[in-house]
């Protein structure tokens, strides 16, 4: 449907269960999803702009759909920063909006978004990137159950290294918060948080729900390893996790 709307250069909002894509002349100008933190969270949580600054921009420029522009013109953000942050948020929300299990799709012609156009991207690029992200997640750790379960840290093996970003993620994991909660709390894109969570799972640093079943969508195995049969036996799952953790250490 997105391809068709792009071909007919449609303008409006593509509504799906897990998010909305906004198009202008068939190109994607904005996206939002309840699963992904919005621009306000990304910018204010990181302390880049104060909450009042954001509210002021929405109050003064929201009505004529130029909030992004206002943030730059009022000196709150650089041009490049706005673009980079907005592109990040658009691809992040699009990843969830375009998820395969996302129910019915509707299109409302003529509907725009109050944030305003920053840098339109082709629908094809959004679809390609969404697919690449799905494959990347499964190449890291092919069990989607960790995506929605509360993140429960496990003790690290002696000497097991961990980047600052993932350390902060684990520090915020209180056994109740899900990856989506953590993304919002830390002001990070939701996909980036999912990727970190799957990497942590592969390294054995978080609990993985026992009923973990392979993803329904068939994906090619990571190129570095020979093809493996689908895992049903928990012992094999344990062995694979052990292998992944050891390899992460090489």
Would you tell me which residues interact with another protein (CB under 8 A)?
42-43, 45-46, 48, 78-81, 83-85, 87-88, 91, 119, 129, 132-133, 136, 161-165, 186-189, 191-192, 195-196
Residue with Cβ nearer another protein (19 or 37): 37
Closest CA to 26 of 107, 136, 137: 107
Residue with Cβ nearer another protein (13 or 66): 66
User: How far does CA 221 lie from the centroid of its chain?
Assistant: 22
Minimum CB–partner distance for residue 79 and another protein (Å): 4
Residues 15, 9 contacting (CB under 8 angstroms): no
- Phi, psi (degrees; rounded to nearest 5) at 180: -65, -40
Minimum CB–partner distance for residue 83 and another protein (Å): 5
Minimum CB–partner distance for residue 14 and another protein (Å): 21
Residue with Cβ nearer another protein (2 or 72): 72
- Provide long-range contacts, Cβ within 8 A and 24+ apart, for 4-8: 5/107, 5/123, 6/122, 6/123, 6/124
| Rounded-to-integer distance, Cα 29 and Cα 161, Å | 39
Minimum CB–partner distance for residue 170 and another protein (Å): 14
| Rounded-to-integer distance, Cα 188 and Cα 42, Å | 6
Residue with Cβ nearer another protein (81 or 181): 81
Residue with Cβ nearer another protein (6 or 194): 194
Residue with Cβ nearer another protein (42 or 180): 42
Minimum CB–partner distance for residue 240 and another protein (Å): 21
| Rounded-to-integer distance, Cα 37 and Cα 21, Å | 15
Axis crossing angle, helix 179-186 with helix 190-202, rounded to the nearest 10 = 120
Minimum CB–partner distance for residue 131 and another protein (Å): 12
| Rounded-to-integer distance, Cα 121 and Cα 84, Å | 12
């Amino acid at each position: 449907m997105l391809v068709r709307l792009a071909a007919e250069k449609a303008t409006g909002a593509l509504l799906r269960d897990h998010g909305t894509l906004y198009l202008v002349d068939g190109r994607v100008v904005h996206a939002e999803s309840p699963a992904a933190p919005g621009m306000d969270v990304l910018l204010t949580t990181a302390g880049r702009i104060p909450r009042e600054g954001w509210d002021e921009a929405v109050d003064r420029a929201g009505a004529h759909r130029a909030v992004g522009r206002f943030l730059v013109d009022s000196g709150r953000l650089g041009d490049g920063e706005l673009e980079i942050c907005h592109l990040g948020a658009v691809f992040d929300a699009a990843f969830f909006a375009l998820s395969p299990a996302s129910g019915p799709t509707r299109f409302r012609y003529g509907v725009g978004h109050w944030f305003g156009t920053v840098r339109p991207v082709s629908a094809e690029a959004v679809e390609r990137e969404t697919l690449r992200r799905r494959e990347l997640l499964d190449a890291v750790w092919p069990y989607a159950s960790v995506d929605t379960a509360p993140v429960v840290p496990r003790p690290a093996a002696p000497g097991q290294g961990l980047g600052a970003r993932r350390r902060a993620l684990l520090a915020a994991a209180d056994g109740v918060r899900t990856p989506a909660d953590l993304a919002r709390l830390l002001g990070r894109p939701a996909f980036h948080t999912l990727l970190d969570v799957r990497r942590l799972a592969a390294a054995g640093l978080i609990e993985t729900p026992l009923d973990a079943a392979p993803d329904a969508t068939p994906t090619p195995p990571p190129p570095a390893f020979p093809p493996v049969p689908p895992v049903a036996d928990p012992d094999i799952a344990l062995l694979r996790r052990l292998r992944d953790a050891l390899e992460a250490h090489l």
